[in-house]
Amino acid sequence: MVYQLFANGDYAAAKSTAPVTGRVAAVYSEIQNSRLHHVLPLPSVLRKPFMIVDGPASPAAGSPDEIAKLFPCLFGQPSAALVPADLGEFPSGQSLKVGVVLSGGQAPGGHNVISGIFDYLQEHCKGSTLYGFKGGPAGIMKCKYVVLTPEYIYPYRNQGGFDMICSGRDKIETPAQFKQAEETALKLDLDGLVVIGGDDSNTNACLLAENFRSKNMKTQVIGCPKTIDGDLKCKEVPASFGFDTACKIYAEMIGNVMVDARSTGKYYHFVRLMGRAASHITLECALQTHPNVTLVGEEVALKKQTLKSVTDYVVDVICKRAELGFNYGVILLPEGLIDFIPEVQQLIAELNEILANEVVDEAGLWKMKLKRQSLQLFEFLPPTIQEQLMLERDPHGNVQVAKIETEKMLIQMVETELEQRKERGAYKGQFKGQSHFFGYEGRCGLPSNFDAAYCYALGYASGALLQSGKTGLISSVGNLAAPVEEWTVGGTALTSLMDVERRHGKFKPVIKKAMVELEGAPFKKFASSREEWAINNRYISPGPIQFVGPIADKVNHTLLLEFGVEA
Ligand code: FBP
């Protein structure tokens, strides 16, 4: 079987002709090398002959009438499950021409999704061709691709990063861009396209699938759930890949600064963590390390907290700790925090309008367009934060929260409040804030055993779905708290994950972001311990990701708690 050939390490042919422009495995570290030869397990249903069973007609996550209008060809199509076939053999499928694209931010495991698709095609659709579109969706529009071969793929197996074909954040949205995508599909005679991306990219994948179907083109489109942010998930798609590895990397670093704080006894480390709008990464890192304060954006929004009340909460803990003789600590905050504070949300909404429609003059006359409260808040913010709030939006219209240094702003505000309390005699400690942003450091790490296997299964399943003639589905691997053997495999109708949002007077389809649920098990577990962690130093240093040994296959707390496995 081809996947065994490559997954089990017989690389002789591939090694001799490896291209020199990409990665060179010969210079890999020992760990990289050992990962290259790491045997990837597959769910048992993918290892034996299987058949596809369609479920019932699928609904939409919301606004079914609007979704039906936006996706007349695809709406209502069933999700599909792979089940073992009683009759012996794998069908020997015809060869396929398939494209694959990586879209959006890097997430550990992307290379394994591509390897999984490749190995499926090699094994079950002999003579197939896999095209890797370069640099994200722009590669589809410009028809920039590389033909993926065993030699090309070899050095990327089980390695982090997206550099095999690179990624990009372009969106295929205008009629002209859809036309370009059609031209590429026709030029390469594509039977299928796999879009590896987050919520926006999978929405785009569904629009592409609908467009190809409506033009009677044969090109099928399958999505794969990618993002370290962990906010693309639902019952059928329990996790996005990359979250497990990224959280483990950040948790190691947080554990290290905790030991630093405890050792010097003089620093408060403010750690902002990636994750865009959602606080899943921050919450998971808190569960792994037990910091003194963790700010969860979704809770801040629910309680309608202001910048002042968030600051007071942090300062209260610092004052209590000072009374106990601890002038140090670790504070975690999500990068999207600022976007959860209602007064800041209002300001950002007004800035979005202004940036879209006005020339932002240097004299600052544009500020007169802000409502009074927003103007006051804007003027109150430090100049660096003001500048960062004005930065260009990403192609999906989002504020680039990764560029806003909320941790530095919070340190300044905490300092000011502590000085005032000192003057009133309510605080007698010493405060030195150290800021950190852990984001890019975690996006390209060597994928954990979980992410490596999950991604390979997602890719392999995408191949199976394409071979079965499916389109407009997202590759879905479930039962993830069980051993890989027992994972379930299928495809979920992308339209079933969608709702609409009204933008610029039109209904736009969206896959709703899965935010931290305050009634969910991960948040409840955190909430039940945070007071204890605030005062008593219960720091945990998880250490580096393990690839072998008793804890190598340990999965993140969030996933286990959501599956009801971890109490
Ligand atoms: P995706 O949603 O595309 O997976 O992006 C994840 C992410 O790492 C966010 O956590 C972060 O805010 C953003 O990318 C940073 O974007 P960029 O790579 O463009 O700086």
% of residues, the chain, pLDDT over 70: 94
- Indicate which residue of 229, 244, 339, 451 is catalytic: 229
Are 267 and 549 in contact by the 8 Å Cβ rule? The answer is no
At 90-139, the pLDDT tens digits run 666 799 999 999 999 999 999 999 999 999 999 999 999 999 999 999 99
Reference 342, options 395, 310, 370, 305; nearest CA is 305
Q: Which protein residue's CA is at the shortest distance from atom 10 of ligand 1?
A: 275
Mutate to test the pocket of ligand 1, among 276, 333, 443, 515 (most ligand atoms within 8 A of CB): 276
Nearest 5°: phi and psi at 201?
Answer: -70, -35
Task: Compute how many other C-beta atoms are within 10 angstroms of the C-beta atom of residue 510.
Answer: 18
Sequence length of the chain is: 567
Q: Does residue 191 carry a catalytic annotation? A: no
At 161-210, the pLDDT tens digits run 999 999 999 999 999 999 999 999 999 999 999 999 999 999 999 999 99
Q: Using a 6 Å cutoff on CB, does residue 208 contact ligand 1? A: no
Section 472-485 average pLDDT: 98
Show the tokens assigned to 552: 């190598």
Q: Which protein residue's CA is at the shortest distance from atom 12 of ligand 1?
A: 276
Residue 396: the pLDDT is: 63
| Chain centre distance of CA 499 | 20
Q: Using a 6 Å cutoff on CB, does residue 103 contact ligand 1? A: no
Residue 25: the pLDDT is: 85
Q: Which protein residue's CA is at the shortest distance from atom 5 of ligand 1?
A: 105
Section 250-268 average pLDDT: 98
Mutate to test the pocket of ligand 1, among 202, 229, 393 (most ligand atoms within 8 A of CB): 229
Most confident of 293-302, 345-354, 383-392: 293-302
HSE, CB side, 13 Å, CA atoms: give it for residue 123. 23
Residue 401: the pLDDT is: 75
Section 237-248 average pLDDT: 98
Question: Ligand 1 mean position to 104 CA, how many Å?
Answer: 7
Q: Which protein residue's CA is at the shortest distance from atom 19 of ligand 1?
A: 105
Residue 18: the pLDDT is: 47
Question: Ligand 1 mean position to 404 CA, how many Å?
Answer: 13
Token pair 């936006």: residue: 70
Are 426 and 319 in contact by the 8 Å Cβ rule? The answer is yes
Ligand 1 nearest atom to the CA of residue 443, by list position: 8
Question: Ligand 1 mean position to 243 CA, how many Å?
Answer: 12
Q: Where are the beta strands (DSSP E) in 38-115?
A: 50-54, 80-84, 97-103
Long-range contacts of 542-551 (CB under 8 A, 24+ apart): 542/248, 542/251, 542/252, 542/255, 542/288, 542/289, 543/252, 543/255, 544/252, 545/245, 545/248, 545/249, 545/252, 545/445, 545/446, 545/448, 547/31, 547/34, 547/35, 547/38, 547/446, 547/448, 547/449
What is the longest distance spanned by two Cα atoms in the chain?
A: 81
CA distance 327 to 228: 33
Question: Ligand 1 mean position to 276 CA, how many Å?
Answer: 7
CA distance 189 to 171: 22
What mean pLDDT value characterizes the chain?
Answer: 92
Least confident of 306-320, 361-375, 523-537: 361-375
Section 490-505 average pLDDT: 90
HSE, CB side, 13 Å, CA atoms: give it for residue 30. 1
Are 139 and 164 in contact by the 8 Å Cβ rule? The answer is no
